[in-house]
Amino acid sequence: MSTVILSAAGAALVLDVSAQGLPRVRHFGAELGSAQDQDLLPVLAAPAPPLLPAQGDTWYGRPGLSGVREGEHWPVRWTLERLDTDATQGAGGTVTVTAADERAGLRLVSELVMDAGGLVSLRHTLTNTAASPYRLGGLVCALPVPGRAGELLDFTGRWALEKVPQRRAFGQGVWSRENRRGRTGHDGTGLLVAGTQGFGFGSGEVWAVHAGWSGNHVHYAERMAEGAALLGAGELLDPGEVVLGEGESYTTPWAYFSWSGAGLDDMSARLHAHLRARPLPARPVTLNNWEATYFDHGLDRLLELAERAAAAGIERFVLDDGWFRHRRHDRAGLGDWYVDEGVWPGGLHPLADRVRKLGMQFGLWFEPEMVNPDSDLAREHPDWLLARPERMPPPHRNQQVLDLARPEVYAYLLERLDTLVGEYALDYIKWDHNRDLAEPVHDGAPGVHAQTLATYRLLDELRRRHPGLEIESCSSGGARIDYGILARTDRVWTSDSNDALDRQAIQRWTGLLVPPERMGAHVGAPRDHITGRSLPLAFRAATALFGHMGVEWDLTSASEAELEELAGWIALHKRLRPLLHAGRVVRADHPDPSALLHGVVLPDRAVFAYVQLTSRVTVGGEPLRLPGLDPQAVYEVRVAGPEPDGARLPDWTGGPVRLSGSVLGELGLPAPSLRPASALLVELLRV
């Protein structure tokens, strides 16, 4: 056997195992049909990096492994010891590679998995087999991309405006996105994509990588003068953060690699399928009280809010920040996870009981990893902070960080969370994380690695004790969105901004990585609390409809007409929810920059949103060419939901019309004329 081929869902990865060193990755891209070893021999002479690039393999770019050994240092040259695979053509499989360098005193185990959707997951485990310590500098996962990948797409952002795309040529050298915030970051790219020139949502060949890690991390693209190029990702370690004693091991986070021959949507679908392999219960429409009441936790006001929420069809009520001791503002109390007896003399039971009698689930906000200096916890345990005790890190948001890797801190938080989840039979936790980790020190060493693993352990143990508990990952909005945290949580809070105009772009690009049912998307107040922009309810609701829908609006201030309109949108979401939360997400490469066209498609039905963002320059709009439909099928097409105010609608909106998928995809529907900040929903049923 000279090659191992993993293939599934039109994708393939070819490993050359003809030499004694690590396997070389000869191909990652389109499936190669029934190719056998002898068919591939003529192309195996082309240059290709090994599974873990190093200078001993004539790779002079960024090394896959860096580190030093005290006393005697040997550059690593791996000898292949074992290769195990259960690969089945067309069904994916697993490859496990074991290699060692006795002189260097290291052993490596690399795991490659291609799932049924064609997504490749890769991780490495490094073990120190020598007596002297090995100081690990970095260990990353990388796969090659071909020379025709001439353009890069990645993402940046800030608080309340996450996932802003940026594109550039993929030239020679390294393009590296490094994050040292101790969390995924508002500016964390999430995905690094390489593609053929001009690739779009439905066109071009693309390769993407995602680091499934919630701490410091790196994504990079590199092209060498010799022509080889690759995408890589992994944990970003500080010097001295991981020191391996004899017999000790370090395992990288999983890195996820997705290929598509048909643009970003197909690449995204492979990622979505991976997350959807862990099924979720139906996603209840959720009300969060934060922007409705902030720290005003008067019981009568909250009960009135709950009554109005239930009447509108909301299915879950989440009590946000402010319920625990000393928490009348954001400058005190964080870490004191006991119900504030002064505000809640009967505990939270009066609210929780009423919420459940109204037919809703009950959830609660926590920020377990943080502490206010003005808190009982910080005063009693100043040594529990993730810091040098002699010098505190700069404060942010009136907060410091608790060192979860200390057993006593972990034990305290687990006891408090476990007790409260049990006492109130919580259905849901909103788990927040509101600051970057500055100067984190654990046990005298850099602390992000240990902190991240401890957070994972805490989440895992809490879920083990409460199997039905759902957890949302919030981090000042969208600053901790990655597959490491999503392996342990059920949704992410996409952004602290509920401004529906900004949310259209935030959800569009976050949705490349995260499917709709895991993206929190709320109907905010008529005048947004962050941007100050006023937007109509129909547009706010149509935007929230395409995620895990919720409401973050003081419904006690809403008119009866607004409540009736909101109830209608919630009912529409519930009717479409089986489609929205299971279908394939598609985004049209719509030529009009003032508008967006996106949808969700199942074999028997689909729903699309045509969104007018700003005023249109042209008099007539571009036709709505609907992607993702079966070209041979016939669909009944109708407007779903209310018609937007002030719209001029074409004839087809007057009643159901029947058209083939090929006509809808190639010719499209005549576009309506909509006011800025409005949307028209189109529903399709296969006939």
Residue 240 is predicted with a pLDDT of 95
159 annotated as belonging to a binding site for a ligand? yes
Element (H, E) at 83: strand 79-85
Taking the C-alpha atoms of residue 234 and residue 216, their distance in angstroms, rounded to an integer, is 9
Residue 127: strand pairing partners: 107, 249
Closest by alpha carbon to 125, among 144, 147, 98, 154? 98
Q: Is 496 one of the catalytic residues?
A: yes
- Report if pTM > 0.85: yes
| Per-residue model confidence as pLDDT tens digits over 112-138 | 999 999 999 999 999 999 999 999 999
Amino acid at 582: A
DSSP-derived secondary structure for 325-349: TT-SSTTS-TT--SB-TTT-TTTTH
Taking the C-alpha atoms of residue 485 and residue 473, their distance in angstroms, rounded to an integer, is 7
- The span from the first CA to the last CA of the chain, in angstroms, equals 50
> Which residues of the chain fall below pLDDT 70?
1, 35-39, 41-46
397 annotated as belonging to a binding site for a ligand? yes
321 annotated as belonging to a binding site for a ligand? yes
431 annotated as belonging to a binding site for a ligand? yes
Residue 46 is predicted with a pLDDT of 66
Find where tokens 């986070």 sit. Answer: 253
Taking the C-alpha atoms of residue 219 and residue 200, their distance in angstroms, rounded to an integer, is 21
Spot the catalytic one: 57, 266, 427, 432. Answer: 432
Give how far Cα 395 sits from Cα of 385, 392, 421, Å. 12, 8, 30
DSSP-derived secondary structure for 180-197: -SSSS-TT--S-EEEEST
Angle at which helices 500-510 and 537-544 pack, to 10 degrees? 10
Spot the catalytic one: 340, 490, 496, 528. Answer: 496
| Per-residue model confidence as pLDDT tens digits over 572-583 | 999 999 999 999
Residue 1 is predicted with a pLDDT of 59
Please give the domain boundaries of the chain with CATH numbers for all domains.
Answer: 48-276 (2.70.98.60), 286-371+407-434+470-580 (3.20.20.70), 588-686 (2.60.40.1180)
Q: Are 260 and 206 in contact (CB under 8 A)?
A: yes
Closest by alpha carbon to 288, among 355, 341, 370? 355
Side-chain half-sphere of 524: how many Cα atoms within 13 Å?
22
Q: Are 520 and 551 in contact (CB under 8 A)?
A: no
Amino acid at 37: D
Residue 383 is predicted with a pLDDT of 96
Write phi, then psi, for 601 (nearest 5 degrees).
Answer: -125, 130
Residue 37 is predicted with a pLDDT of 65
Q: Is the dihedral of CA 42, 47, 53, 56 positive or negative?
A: positive
Taking the C-alpha atoms of residue 317 and residue 357, their distance in angstroms, rounded to an integer, is 12
86 annotated as belonging to a binding site for a ligand? no
Distance of CA 359 to the CA centre of its chain: 30
Residue 419 structure tokens: 């007790």
Q: Is 432 one of the catalytic residues?
A: yes
